[in-house]
Amino acid sequence: MKVLNFGSLNIDYTYQVDHFVRAGETMSSESLQVFSGGKGLNQSIALSKAGADVWHAGAVGAGDGDFLIEQMKKAGVHTELIEHLDGQTGHAIIQKDPAGQNCILLYGGANQRITREMVDRVLTQFEADDFLILQNEISEIGYIMEKAHEKGMKIVLNPSPMNAKILSYPLEYVDYFLLNEVEASDICGIEATKDPQALMNGLVKQFPEAKIVLTLGGDGSVYRDGDTVLRQGIYKVPVVDTTAAGDTFTGYFIGGLQLGEDPKTALEHAAKAAAIAVSRPGAAPSVPNREEVETFEG
Ligand code: RIB
């Protein structure tokens, strides 16, 4: 069983700031660091470090994105399905404040130039029961879902970043949702301020066949599959940089399932991996390897 992650690759420009820049304000940053990132790339690296055999499909620009591919190769990700397209690689401008929180501005670049022809080419390499992981940072996601469903692939959707396009995708084909309260609220139309139980019930009503992981920030996460409900708390660590914590969680959860872990163990490892990631700077470089996760005491 193979794992295909069809997702974004970004160059992350991370600016250390005293506070997030306000409307009309011009502000100097304290430092700039350049990291490999993109929700797709981060999740592929996390999947691979978790032990999954993962193929990443996506696109970078003609001349500026090769270091992203190198980083993925180094982490053990199969990169031969990543194409070079004219124009720029996607990038993210990330402001990081002293508490390690961030705000992110995206430029899609090559991520938004994925074509149906590319999708068709990639999917010839996969078959029924292979996993397909998707986020919401590339073009043609609805088409990818249609074609993967026709093949009988298992579809995992992390609907992030949330926008109106998500609601136009064939969400009924999704086998696993990994999402936060805001994303859940936008999908099922229930206020995020309500009890998370109401959000989970709304999702289950709308997608009765799907397995759902709802992340609740400091309150951890809840997994639901039919009558099975599992809860997982967070591991508290000194926060350095929260970028890619969610991607690390997703990669370790799905990677764990692919290795044969039960959902409870996969959730626990995902929470530990995310905690380690927030204690380190950067996106992809903050993703821990499996040994670090399994020996993490919390
Ligand atoms: O989830 C974190 C990621 O979001 C960053 O690496 C950035 O590139 C954006 O895609």
How many angstroms separate the CA atoms of 279 and 287, rounded? 10
Point out the ligand 1 atom lying closest to the alpha carbon of residue 94: 7
d(CA 293, CA 108): 32
Entry pTM: 0.97
Say what the pLDDT of residue 117 is: 98
**pLDDT, tens digit (0-9, with 9 covering 90-100), for 256-276:** 999 999 999 999 999 999 999
What is the mean pLDDT of the segment spanning 13-30?
97
d(CA 59, CA 109): 9
**Dist. CA 12 → ligand 1 center (Å):** 7
pLDDT at 193: 73
| Catalytic residue status for 129 | no
pLDDT number for residue 49: 98
Class of domain 3-8+39-91+109-295 as given by CATH? alpha beta
Residue 91: predicted pLDDT: 98
Contacts of 36 (CB under 8 A, 6+ apart): 9, 10, 11, 12, 67, 68, 71, 72, 283, 284, 285
At 217, the pLDDT band (50, 70, 90 cuts) reads very high
Instruction: Provide mean pLDDT across the span 186-204.
Output: 89
Q: Which of 11, 247, 248, 287 to mutate to test the pocket of ligand 1 (most atoms within 8 A of CB)?
A: 247
DSSP codes of every residue in 108-171: -GGGGG--HHHHHHHHTT--TT-EEEE-SSSS-HHHHHHHHHHHTPEEEE---S--GGGGGS-G
What are 73-122's pLDDT values in tens digits?
999 999 999 999 999 999 999 999 999 999 999 999 999 999 999 999 99
Q: CA 243 to CA 130: how far, in whole Å?
A: 28
Average pLDDT of 18-35? Answer: 97
pLDDT digits (tens, 9 = 90+) for 139-150: 999 999 999 999
Mutate to test the pocket of ligand 1, among 10, 33, 35, 89 (most ligand atoms within 8 A of CB): 10
Reply yes or no on whether the pLDDT at 192 is more than 80.
no
> What average pLDDT does the structure give for the chain?
96
Is it the case that residue 194 has pLDDT exceeding 80? no
Helix (H) or strand (E) run with residue 221 in it: strand 221-225
Helix (H, G, I), strand (E, B) or coil at 68: helix
* CB of residue 135 inside a 6 A radius of ligand 1: no
Residue 161: which pLDDT band, with cuts at 50, 70 and 90? Answer: very high
The answer to whether the annotation marks 137 as part of a ligand binding site is: yes
Q: Is 244 in the pocket of ligand 1 (CB under 6 A)?
A: yes
pLDDT band of residue 1 (cuts 50, 70, 90) is confident
Query: What confidence tier does 57 reach under pLDDT thresholds 50, 70, 90?
Result: very high
**Number of alpha carbons in the 13 Å side-chain half-sphere of residue 194:** 13
Q: Check whether 255 is labelled as a binding-site residue.
A: no
pLDDT at 298: 79
Tell which atom from ligand 1 comes closest to the C-alpha of 247: 1
Distance CA 282, CA 266 (A): 24
Residue 205 burial class via C-beta count within 10 angstroms: exposed 0-12, middle 13-18, buried 19 and up: exposed
Residue 246 above 90 pLDDT? yes
